[in-house]
Amino acid sequence: MRKIKQYCFIIFLLSVFWLLVTYIQNVIFPVRFLPHNFFILELLDKRVELLPGLLLMMGAGNIILLWLISKRFFSSPYYFLPSIIYALSPWSSYLIAAGSFYIYLLFLLLIIFYGLILLKSGCRFWGTILTAVVTAITLYSSFFLFVILPVSFTGIVILKVISFKEFKNTIILLIILTFPLLIYISGNYPGLRNIFFSEINVISDPGLLNAVNKYQGAARSKGLGGLAKISENKYIFLTEYLFLKYAKSFVPATYFTPAEKLLNFSFSPPIYLGFLIPFLYGLYKFLNPSILRKILLLSTVLVIPSVLAKPLVDLNRLVLFAPVVIFVISYGYVKMIEQKEKTKFLILLSIVIIVFQLFVTFFDIQARERDRFVKYFDQNYQIGKQ
Amino acid sequence: MNRLKIFKNKILLLIVLFTLLGGFFRFYMNTDNPPSLNIDEISYGYSAYSILKTGKDENGIFMPLVFKSIGDYKNPVLIYSLVPSIAIFGLNEFGVRFTTALAGTLSIPVFFLLLRTLLNNTRIAFIGGILLSVSPWHIYYSRYASESLIATFLLMLGIWFFLKIFGGEKWWTVGASLALTLSLYTYHSHRLFIPLFLIFVIFAKIKLLRSVKSSMYIFIIMTFLLIIPLIILVIIGPANTRAKMVFLSLDIDFTRYVILDHLHKQGENFLLLFFWVKRYLNYFQPDFLFFSGLNMTLPGSIGLGVLFLFELPWFVLGIIKLIKDKIPAKLIIVAWTLFGLLPASLTNNEQSTVRSLLVLPALLTVTALGADFFIHLVFSIRNLYLRIGTILTYSIFIAVLLIHAFLVFVVHFPIQRGEDFMEGTKQTVEYALSQKKQYKEIIFDPYRGIEAPYIVSIPHMYILFYSQYDPAIYQQEQKTRPDGSFGFDNFTVRKIDWRVDKSKENTLFIGSPWSLPENELREGEILKKVYLVNGGLAFLIVSPK
């Protein structure tokens, strides 16, 4: 009976999510990203596009995966929290409506994470198969994750989140599965180089070099060229800039306000402001248990695709980090509920703000969002590269 | 006992040294950098000069509490504080900038004393004092006449006195009340912050207050009596004009891109609420805090944050310390930061460093806490090589960033921001004054700008200032001409239309190349060209032939 209730609730949540995506899609249609190709297909010089229907299914899949994962962390009925937050937040809905490739990658990442949980919880066979196969698919799909996932796995072993013994078979299977890709890459260096420069737009930005020249020229004219060479060279400026981008991925304004615009024009926040309260509380509580701290530390590699993008913060790429934020919020709620008397007011305040903003955002989307896009980008409905 | 005395003397000596160092950063060549007096400084200076000479402002009002000035209704404290400085040093750049630089310098020992009282820890207070003495945010606003800086100095002084009341000494009450009231009269942001902050502190420390009940009554009554004129001016007078002019709802980003120029009226106020939250949280953005928030360079270029980048790890450690440890004034520091950003976030700027300056002491307190913890962590590294390596690496990091800060102050700021400080106007005015007798009329165009003529300057105030024009005469003169233009003596301030004006004889025209197009001028008509430090042509001085 309990299970049926759970399934019913998940179906209800999926319906709400579907309605939300459809609603946004209807309002902003035909606003689209330029399609993103798969890593392996890019190397083979072929193109395949993800169908919008498939993306919607993956978005829904993310809700189910969040539910399955959180069942391992939270007790009943709190394990619905991450799925609710994900389903209600405009972030993924907007990205699905605009055809984001990163929703597909997020789907794969969540499966990998679920596989790792299975591994950790002793379900070795299915954990190994799921993790290795889906990781291999991910490596074939995205250049970024081709770099990030091996680093993350190394981190998982070094920080002893999962022991090498538990992880050994997965790594062997993964190497076997990705062997063809590695062979192909080793013989196609120019292709890889092209992908590298097209994905990592931050270093191809000419503005940085211009700034260095301008600054050094100005200092030289005052006889201070030597000092400028020490402190205003391209390496220092690039390091500072990357560090700034990295730091900006961790500030609340990025996630809970429209400081960074969804699809480069929207006034809807990625996640509703009311969730900021449990987020801060969760973060505060997250810092104590060492295993959670380690996972949080490891998960920060997921912001790298956004750091290496051209804009200061790329919400499309940063969606890979969204589950981390969502889990911190959920953890915050759970801890707040545990201390009911002390935090009752905060929980209430959070819910009131969320409900209020939900209505305001819906009305704003209907009334202004399309005109807003035209104001920013005129009648050109392509948002740009992903 | 002896050791304690030596330690105290050492600390005192070091604080004096860092105050002198801070004074050097604030006073050294402050007449040339910022490169020129901006429009506010010119107005402050001439209003103070007018008060000094006649007891009235330039509009002829006797000892006003709000200066109409150029229509922006300026606060009184800075202007009155300039009177002795102008009397001593004269009506010049140094006379105008002296008071702020002095307040900036004195802020260092005051902040040290405040922190020592607040945290009951001399070492952290000392670190805080050092951080303030080299703070780019504080140095920048100390180098030109700034109401916000003086108000923040008075705020620190007032809060230090206020905290001293809890020690049981009644005389601090008078000091606290005077300093905080003066701060309210000095700058707009403080008018919202101080009442909120004090109410919070009084409620947070209600148990302690019972022991100093009588002092607190004196404080409340005295403060209330002192602020009555201000309350009247804010409610029924012109003192709220500025607040109305800069309110968030007039923000261009909000009106243009959020409510789409009132496309639909419904729900605008709700959106304004979330827009405000966005603005508020933007003050915690790393680019504002550590990279380019200070606006000393052009938008989009790498400049200076309100804190140094090397302070970021200390700031983070400070927050962790604040959360985890039992810091005596934890709530006061948090309230200072959170309430302190309210006034700035309610105005129509993305991030206003001048309106948010009052949170600097709170941010530096957190940074000092973290720096102290950082030093403790580094010195607890057991491996000697690792310890030395860490110290060396961090020192290089600090040195590189300090060199960058030095270059921003000395090289990039004057080049990139000269126009904001009305660079070039002084030269044009001095030229006009030297030629004054040779012309029947001297016409100044108030619109200027290298990219476009979008800057509206106030050349008449520069003329009054640099000619030390007798305020008594100026107050009496009829300033509106029959044709509707503004002027006095043989100076006129109006837009130049060269197609019409080129036929005027015995007239000197001063304007940007936008109003005096070089290609339409004949040979010999251009008498002087005035350039900015960055090489841009700012003004042409022309006489038609």
Verify whether the Cβ–Cβ distance B278 to A227 is below 8 Å.
no
Cβ distance A367 to B278 less than 8 Å, yes or no, reads no
Confidence class for position B331, pLDDT limits 50, 70, 90: very high
How far apart CA B382 and CA A116 sit, in angstroms, is 37
Other C-beta atoms lying within 10 Å of the C-beta of residue A230: 14
Round to whole Å and give the CA distance between B6 and B502.
76
- Enter the tokens of residue A359: 């209505």
Identify whether the C-beta of residue A350 lies closer than 8 Å to the C-beta of residue A278: yes
- Residue B282, CA atoms < 13 Å, CB-side half-sphere: 23
The mean pLDDT of B384-412, rounded to a whole number, is 96
Q: Radius of gyration (Cα) for chain B, nearest Å?
A: 26
Q: Mind listing the pLDDT tens digit for each residue in B216-262?
A: 899 999 999 999 999 998 888 776 777 778 899 999 999 988 998 88
Residues of chain B in contact with residue A219, where contact means CB-CB under 8 angstroms, are 407, 411
Residue B239, pLDDT score? 67
Residue B94 has pLDDT above 90, yes or no: yes
Q: In what order do the strands lie in the sheet with B441-444?
A: B486-488, B491-493, B441-444, B507-511, B537-542, B526-531
Tokens at A75, concatenated: 């007790």
ipTM greater than cut 0.90 = yes
Structure tokens at B102: 């002095």
Q: Helix/strand/coil (H, E, C) string of B94-141?
A: HHHHHHHHHHHHHHHHHHHHHHHHHHCCHHHHHHHHHHHHHCHHHHHH
Q: Does A364 touch chain B (CB under 8 A)?
A: yes
For B372, residues 6+ apart whose C-beta sits below 8 A from its C-beta are B121, B123, B124, B127
**B486-488 and B491-493 beta bridge pairing:** antiparallel
pLDDT-based confidence at B4, cuts 50/70/90? confident
B383: Cβ contacts below 8 Å, ≥ 6 apart = none
**Chain centroid offset of residue B189 CA:** 11
* Mean pLDDT of the region A95-102: 94
Residues shown for chain B: 545
B301, B323, B406 ranked by CB distance to A284: nearest:
B323
- Higher-confidence residue of A117 and B3: namely A117
Write the CA distances from A209 to A224, B424, B495, integer angstroms. 19, 30, 40
pLDDT in tens, B431-443: 999 999 999 999 9
Residue B239's H or E segment, with its range, is none
pLDDT digit string (tens) for B341-383? 999 999 988 899 999 999 999 999 999 999 999 999 999 999 9
Q: For CA atoms A368, A369, A371, A375, give the dihedral sign.
A: positive
Q: How far apart are CA B488 and CA A130, in angstroms?
A: 85
Q: Are A153 and A301 in contact (CB under 8 A)?
A: no
Instruction: Say yes or no to pLDDT of B497 above 70.
Output: yes
| Pairing assessment for the beta strands B441-444 and B537-542 based on DSSP bridges | unpaired
How many angstroms from the chain centroid is the CA of residue B371? 27
The set of long-range contacts for B193-198, using a CB threshold of 8 Å and a minimum separation of 24, is B193/B155, B193/B339, B193/B340, B193/B342, B193/B343, B193/B358, B194/B155, B194/B158, B196/B339, B196/B342, B197/B335, B197/B336, B197/B339, B197/B340, B198/B162
> Can you read off the two tokens belonging to residue A127?
């954990």
pLDDT tens for B34-84 read 999 999 999 999 999 999 999 999 999 999 999 999 888 899 999 999 999
Q: Which residues pair with B488 in a beta bridge?
A: B491
CA B142 to chain centre: 8
CB atoms within 10 A of CB B489: 16
Contact B340, B193 (CB under 8 A): yes
Q: Is the pLDDT of residue A375 over 90?
A: no
- Structure tokens given for B175: 């000091």
Q: Is the pLDDT of residue B1 over 70?
A: no
**pLDDT in the model for residue B72:** 86
Contact B260 A247 (CB under 8 A): no
> What residues contact A110, with CB distance under 8 A and at least 6 apart?
A61, A62, A65, A66, A69, A323
Q: Which two tokens stand for residue B291?
A: 């990279």
Report the C-alpha gap between B414 and A37 in whole angstroms.
48
Q: B146-187 pLDDT, tens per residue?
A: 999 999 999 999 999 999 988 777 889 999 999 999 999 999
| Closest residue on chain A to B310 (Cα) | A240
Residues ≥6 apart with Cβ < 8 Å to B530: B424, B427, B428, B431, B537, B538, B539, B540, B541
Q: Write out the H or E segment, with its range, that includes residue A298.
A: helix A290-299
Calculate the alpha carbon distances from B482 to B463, B479, B486 in Å.
21, 10, 9
Angstroms from B135 CA to nearest CA on chain A: 18
Q: Other CB atoms closer than 10 Å to residue B362's CB: what's the count?
A: 19
Helix axes B76-89, B39-54, angle to 10 degrees: 70
Match 């080299």 to its residue by tokens. Answer: B134
Residues in contact with A257: Cβ distance below 8 Å, sequence separation at least 6, in sequence order: A269, A273, B274, B277, B278, B281, B282
Beta-carbon separation of A273 and B302 below 8 A: no
CB-based contact B332:B118 (threshold 8 Å): yes
Tally Cβ neighbours within 10 Å of residue B215: 23
| A269 inside 8 A of chain B by CB | yes
Dist CA A47 CA B526 (whole Å): 64
pLDDT band at A198 (very low <50, low <70, confident <90, very high): confident
Under the banding of pLDDT at 50, 70 and 90, the label for residue A221 is: very high
- Cβ–Cβ pairs < 8 A, chains A and B: 108
Q: Do A231 and B411 touch (CB under 8 A)?
A: no
Checking if the pLDDT of A286 tops 90, the result is no
Chain B interface includes A32 (CB < 8 A): no
What pLDDT, on the 0 to 100 scale, is given for residue B479?
87
Both tokens assigned to B44 = 């402050």
| A218 CA: distance to closest CA in chain B (Å) | 7
Q: Do B287 and A248 touch (CB under 8 A)?
A: yes
Q: Is the separation of the CB atoms in B541 and B510 below 8 Å?
A: yes
Angle at B275 between CA B454 and CA A310, to 5 degrees: 70
Which residues partner with B539 through β-bridges?
A: B530
A232 interfaces chain B, CB cutoff of 8 Å: yes
Q: Is the pLDDT of residue B517 over 70?
A: yes
Average pLDDT of every residue of chain B: 93
Tokens linked to A138: 């991910």
Put simply, whether B256 touches A (Cβ < 8 Å) is: yes
For B265-322, how does the pLDDT look when each residue is reduced to its tens digit (9 = 90+)? 888 999 999 999 999 999 999 999 999 999 899 887 789 999 999 999 999 999 999 9
CA B524/CA B545 separation, integer angstroms? 8
CB-CB under 8 Å, A252 with B284: yes
The upper half-sphere exposure of residue B136, i.e. CA atoms within 13 Å in the direction of its Cβ, equals 30
What CA–CA distances, in Å, run from B117 to A119, A201, B121, B156, B365? 55, 51, 8, 12, 12
Q: How many CA atoms lie within 13 A of B377 on its CB side?
A: 12
Phi then psi dihedrals of residue B74, to 5 deg: -85, 155
The length of chain A in residues reads: 386
Of B194, B166, B200, B165, nearest to B182 by C-alpha is: B194
Give the closest-approach CA distance of B25 to chain A in angstroms.
19
Preferred mutation among A221, A231, A378 to probe B, highest tally of B CBs within 10 A: A231
Average pLDDT over residues A62-66: 96
**DSSP-assigned letters across all residues of B477-495:** S--B-TTS-EEETTEEE--
Residue with tokens 């007078």: B237
Say if residue A167's pLDDT is above 70.
Answer: yes
Query: What torsion, rounded to 10 degrees, do the Cα atoms A256, A259, A260, A265 define?
Result: 110
Maximum CA extent, chain A:
81
User: Residue range A1-18: average pLDDT?
Assistant: 90
Tokens 């110290």 identify what position? B391
> What does the alpha-carbon distance between residue B367 and residue B313 come to, in Å, rounded to a whole number?
9
